Amino acid sequence: MLSSLMAAVGSESTIVPDEMRLTADGKELMYQLLWRSVLILVLIFAIFPVWMMFTTSFKTRDEVLQLGLDILPADPYVQNYFLMFQRFPLVDYYVNSLVISSVTTVLSLLIGGLAAYSLSRYEFPGKEKFEMGALATQMIPGVLILIPMFLLFIVMDQSANIPMKDTYHGMIFLYTTFTVPFTIWMLRGYFDTIPTALEEAARIDGCTRTQALFRVVMPLAAPGLAATGMFVFLLAFNEVLFASVLATDNVTPFSIGIQNFQQQDQTMWGQMMAASTLAAVPLLAIFVVFQRQIVSGLTSGSVKQ
Amino acid sequence: MLLSAYQRVKRRLPAVHIPYVSSLPASQRFGLKLIAPALAMMLLVHGIPVILGFVMSFYEFPSLRYTDWFRPETFVGLDHFAKVFQKDTIYGAQFWNSLKVTILYTVGSVIGTYVLGLVTALTLDKQFRGKLVARTVILIPYVTPVVVTLLTWRMMFRSDTGVINALLRQAGLIEGSLFWLLGPNSLYAIIIANVWRNFPYAAIMLYAGLQSVPEQLYEAAEIDGAGRWGKLRYVTLPQLKPVSAVILLLLILWTFINFPVPYILLGGSPSESGNVLMLLIYSFGFKQSAYGIGSALSAMLFLFSMTIAYVYYKRVVASSYDGGAI
């Protein structure tokens, strides 16, 4: 097959005159140009919406409604960053999201971390079933458990007198459970990379299993915990389905509250994008700092090196 | 400090004996103890509601008072399922349309995400300066809060003053304005936003997969006379098969039961062409108070995604791990 291919290429070279044929160097140059421009296009595609968010946050209402593609706003309109706080209790939205997402992150890392460590190191009856179960939770459509959860929350409130709907602890409890399977999945890969010899040494020196876990393994897993923690935080921060039904009134998180900028008759895009930028910047900063851990944490789960 | 407090409390408590568990060796008991909190929470938040969800799909809910629910006279059996499958009922017509839209949305998103991810991974695999910067930029869509970026996409997709229409007009591809979030184009809008959101994940996973391809394979292919295309076709792609299988499975599941993208871009009551199943169920449950129908639909969606995952896992993931070189 290869020889017929060579023949085809050979016959073509007789048709094209010598001067017009690319030299090997020329071909290499074309190839370099091709993949470099592809890469640049992909980079533009990746950053474009985030850039639009950033620039729009410095535009006045009129500028937002104008056509055109300003790369930079000619005259930055900083007012958006002050006006946005006047219309809605935006500070409350930020605080609610921060409280719910941070506590969720800590609890999820603790509970998921223990389970991940157990899966990575110990054998016990039902281990495979537990793993499959954790994986299966990822296939449950949120709407399937949303309606029963709504019902359970009402029942707990009315029969047991424990308020769950519209409370911090209710949302934290839900989000912690939603993120635990993900935490297990990511941290398990990370724990697998930590040699067991260290714990064994600690055990010989008289540590209990619990001490070996908290004093030796957890500190070593800190980078993995940081990377996983960022994704758990993002998952909790981004949740809209359960929040839209179960977290209203005083605990409205940012993900629901920000949609208030969009109203029947008009949308305050400038202010909305200012609020968005303020939410995105800290998370992007954390990502840039921890990106090595985040990338290795993401890939360790399913690529066996 | 926490640890010693825990141990002090533990010493005061009486020893608990669970019949079967107590007979296990200490290491196994410790392993079980560590998964206990996670297991308990998952049973409470995933287990019970899923069972309740299935039970609810057999009942009719006459009112919002929960004491009126689950009474024998409200039991309707498989009625909800039958209604959904009949094309001539109001529910059935919506269901079949949504099923079609959801499948198109999933297929379009997964193909787009995978192809773009693969192209990105292949270019990232080359040698060039500023590689770390490029990798960081590519991951930005994946680590920016999705609510925020979806609202930005919503802004860019506006028909009158949106930047996407402006770009298309500049390029001479369209005249006037396209409606992206209303009418037949809403399907494309959610696909584009979803591809943008997920392609960094595919790219970074495939990039990691590329790093683990043994160099000898390329050398061998070169000796056999393979060019760039030949190396890609006969070495790279087959070597990426195991990791691709995992990525595709995750992408299918993520898209199939994805809620934020359609909800934030199109809102609670989208046009027919963007009415994916998740939005339809949401509107049945929380707008039209048809909890029973909503539960029946979501139970079906769950069984469907479990089946896809199971079949796919058995057929593709398991076999490619056996046969692959990784």
3-state secondary structure B247-258: HHHHHHHHHHCC
What confidence score (pLDDT) does residue A295 get? 80
Distance from CA of A214 to the nearest CA of B (A): 8
Q: Which residues of A touch B301 (CB under 8 A)?
A: 141, 143-144
What span, in angstroms and rounded, lies between the C-alpha atoms of A160 and A154? 10
Highest mean pLDDT (candidates A169-183, B122-136, B169-183, B307-321): A169-183
Distances (CA, A) of A245 to A163, A166, A223: 15, 9, 35
Contact A148 B246 (CB under 8 A): no
Residue A73's SS3 state is coil
In chain A, % helix, strand, coil (3-state, to 5) comes to 80, 0, 20
Q: Which residues of A touch B44 (CB under 8 A)?
A: 177
- Domain co-membership, B38 together with B112: no
First to last CA, chain A: 35
Q: Which CATH superfamily is domain A87-300 in?
A: MetI-like (1.10.3720.10)
Contact A147 B228 (CB under 8 A): no
- Domain co-membership, B94 together with B39: no
Residue-number span of the structural domain to which B91 is assigned: 83-323
Contact A115 B34 (CB under 8 A): yes
In a domain, B209, yes or no: yes
What span, in angstroms and rounded, lies between the C-alpha atoms of A286 and B133? 15
ipTM of the shown complex: 0.83
Distance from CA of B142 to the nearest CA of A (A): 9
Contact B286 A154 (CB under 8 A): no
Residue spans per domain, chain A: 87-300
In a domain, B108, yes or no: yes
What confidence score (pLDDT) does residue A15 get? 59
Residue A117's SS3 state is helix
Q: Note whether B42 contacts A: Cβ–Cβ < 8 A.
A: yes
Chosen from B66, B113, B131, B143 to mutate, greatest number of chain A CBs within 10 A:
B143
Q: Note whether B298 contacts A: Cβ–Cβ < 8 A.
A: yes
Contact B228 A68 (CB under 8 A): no
Percent of chain A with pLDDT over 70: 88
Residue B41's SS3 state is helix
Residue A148 sits at φ, ψ, to 5 deg, of: -60, -35
Per-residue model confidence as pLDDT tens digits over B277-300: 889 988 887 777 778 888 888 888
Per-residue model confidence as pLDDT tens digits over A224-257: 888 889 889 988 998 988 998 888 878 889 888 8
Structural domains of chain B, count: 2
Residue in B92, B141, B128, B153 with CA at minimum distance from that of residue A38: B128
What confidence score (pLDDT) does residue B125 get? 87
In a domain, B114, yes or no: yes
Cβ-nearest to B301 among A138, A141, A214: A141
Contact B139 A127 (CB under 8 A): no
Q: Which residues of A touch B141 (CB under 8 A)?
A: 46, 49-50
Percent of chain A with pLDDT over 90: 19
In a domain, B129, yes or no: yes
Q: Going by C-beta distance under 8 Å and a sequence separation of 6 or more, which residues neighbour residue B142?
A: B197, B198, B200, B201, B204
Query: What confidence category does residue B79 fall into, taking pLDDT thresholds of 50, 70 and 90?
Result: confident
What span, in angstroms and rounded, lies between the C-alpha atoms of A235 and B243? 23
